[in-house]
Structure 1
Amino acid sequence: MPKARKHKRKAPVTAVAAASDHAAQQASSSSSRPQATRTTIRRFHVLIKRQAQLQQIVHGSNAESQSTKTELARVEQEIEDLGGLAAYQRMSTIGQGKDRGGGSEKVLISWMRDMGLHEPPTRTAGRLRLLEVGALKADNYASCQTWIDVSPIDLHAQHPDIREQDFLLMDPDEHREKWDVISLSLVLNFPPNPKDRGQMLCLAHTMLRPDGLLFVALPLPCILNSRYMTPDHFDGLMRSIGFEQVHTRWKEGGKMAYWLYRRRPQPASTTYQDHLLYKKKTVFRQGDRNNFVILL
């Protein structure tokens, strides 16, 4: 068996067990301060990545290491002590509050209004069908209900109006060209496998109608401080799938980056090198960087 890699990978959200209500309430209370929220969320990400690496070692080896199993138990206990996925989602919801600038849906709504999508001449076929992936709140688009028909989904739904659904497990044939808009806000940075991130984008392309819109929101360090990702590389990757950039918003020193893409026909690969470019890691930066990457 090959040795475990040093760089740790994130685990699927479904791999994190929900903790007790008491622990979740403690984490929620401590997350009322912005710095505490950010620190705890970062710790969650570190633990989840380590959990994924240890699970791969345990499940992929016939000769299970007791020390690995012990460390895995310790990591999972710390995740539970922090409140589990329920606490993580609660803190993320707090971070979307109006007192902290609101959620990323404000950016998407603003862009769609600028494009005139809220006006009747544009909506000859009725309300826009929007699939909100990773929804933490059920009413993010309540102010737009006259022109947006939103379907919120999440791996671990926190509200009865949010459907519990893994986006990667949605039937591509059933949803082919069904949606006018798909929102992937703080979603691409969560799957542990870089190829799952690429699969999310390809699935979105399949599920969007011709000229449909894909909204992507990522922490800014994913593209500005990664060894394997830059804004130009990300845009090239999106073009290779069949997306044309419509809007983007981020600034040096900021925390978030936003993009709006329009679905176009998938281009044919031109050369072998073009084919490989987004299927392997290309090192753009050295030094103390993160390992965020999307692979097709």
Structure 2
Amino acid sequence: MPKTSRRKLPVTLAEKHGSSSTSRTSRTVIRRFHTLLKQQKSVQGDTLAIINREIEDLGGLEAYQRMSCIGQSSDRGGGCEKVLLSWLKQMGWADRKSKGNQRHRLLEVGAIKSDNFRACASWIDVTAIDLHSRHPSILEQDFLLMDQSQHREAWDIISLSLVINFVPDGKDRGRMLTQAHSILRPNGLCFLALPLPCVNNSRYMTLEHMRELMNAVGFSQLEERWKPGGKMIYWLYQKQRSPQESRSADEVYFSRKKVLRQGGFRNNFHVLL
């Protein structure tokens, strides 16, 4: 997207962080961003200029991050890291260190806040990254552009919380998952969090399909949490195979979109390998 001058945010987006901004506003902004970014990749000329203008009018990526921050505030139940930490503690990770008696290395992708894991600093060493950092403690880094040879099997835990749903291309979503697998150490953990409709109201995704897709990448599902009528779904996966061992006919199967649900009012969320 070409650089443009900063525009004044619409009143609905310029509200202070907190309960004055409704969860409905947050969801509306995020959904619209998803639609516009998807369209941006397939149009040119005047249509592209119109889309870029609307993205700018919405406040750009900062507006999306602002809405994400609101969703993680304490008056909305806190961030997804609470679910991850509860699972890690159940597994005993808080009571033991990783190899060499070092803290567990956690890569937090798409970090909005810098202090999500502050209370666990004695046993978790966090590196937080985001495309556009909002804090000096968050590195400005595109996860897909990380040097895989430098980071291969370097991480104990990777958090992809509300990340792949913001990636507009299904193949890039798949690349994120395969890269997470590549840079995790053997038996490392991948935490994945998505809006529940991404899997229970998509034409191309179901819970079973997601489980099989992650297995094709080389992950085994350890935990899953969601509730009917809820807004979020959380998973915890463990790396089971090397990338070479993961190559199979299954990956070919997941390289194309397949309609798994019929009916109107479905979304088009999908992941391709």
Normalized against structure 1, the TM-score is what? 0.84
Q: Does 1:89 align with 2:75?
A: no
Distance 1:132 1:18 in 2: 29
The question of whether the paired residues in 2 share the 8 Å contact of 1:26 and 1:83 is answered with no
The 5 Å alignment of 1:166-181 reads 166-181=142-157
Distance 2:103 2:129 in 1: 19
- 1:43 aligned partner: 32
Aligned length: 267
Deviations 1:20-73 (A, max 9, x none): 26327861418712222222222222222222222xxx3xxxxxxxxxx22222
Q: Percent identity?
A: 54
82, 88, 97: which one aligns with 1:106: 82
The question of whether the paired residues in 1 share the 8 Å contact of 2:217 and 2:251 is answered with no
CA root-mean-square deviation:
2.1
Aligned residue identity for 2:88: M
256, 264, 267: which one aligns with 1:290: 267
Distance 2:198 2:138 in 1: 27
Residue 122 of structure 1 deviates from its aligned partner by: 6.5
What SS does structure 2 have at the residue aligned with 1:23?
A: coil
What SS does structure 2 have at the residue aligned with 1:129?
A: strand
- Structure 2, unmatched stretches of 5+, are none
- Structure 1, unmatched stretches of 5+, are 1-14, 59-68
Aligned residue identity for 2:255: K
Q: Does 1:22 align with 2:11?
A: no
The 5 Å alignment of 1:1-296 reads 15=1, 20=6, 22-23=8-9, 27-29=13-15, 32-54=21-43, 58=44, 69-120=45-96, 125-266=101-242, 267=245, 272=249, 274-288=250-264, 289-296=266-273
Aligned residue identity for 2:37: I
Distance 2:72 2:2 in 1: 22
What SS does structure 1 have at the residue aligned with 2:94?
A: coil
Point out 4+ residue stretches in structure 1 off by more than 3 angstroms. 15-19, 120-124, 266-270
Distance 1:154 1:269 in 2: 29
- 1:4 aligned partner: none
What SS does structure 2 have at the residue aligned with 1:214?
A: strand
Q: Give the direction of change, closer, same or farther, for the CA distance of 1:24–1:115 in structure 2 (3 Å limit).
A: farther
Distance 1:234 1:121 in 2: 31
The question of whether the paired residues in 2 share the 8 Å contact of 1:219 and 1:256 is answered with yes
The farther-off stretch of 123-132 and 97-106 is 123-132
Residue 185 of structure 1 deviates from its aligned partner by: 0.6
Deviations 1:200-235 (A, max 9, x none): 111111100111000000111111111111111111
Normalized against structure 2, the TM-score is what? 0.91
The question of whether the paired residues in 1 share the 8 Å contact of 2:9 and 2:57 is answered with yes
Residue 193 of structure 1 deviates from its aligned partner by: 1.9
Aligned residue identity for 1:36: T
The question of whether the paired residues in 2 share the 8 Å contact of 1:131 and 1:151 is answered with yes
Distance 1:122 1:150 in 2: 14
Distance 1:24 1:193 in 2: 28
Residue 114 of structure 1 deviates from its aligned partner by: 0.8
Q: Give the direction of change, closer, same or farther, for the CA distance of 1:24–1:162 in structure 2 (3 Å limit).
A: farther
Aligned residue identity for 1:20: R
Distance 2:5 2:73 in 1: 23
Distance 2:98 2:56 in 1: 48
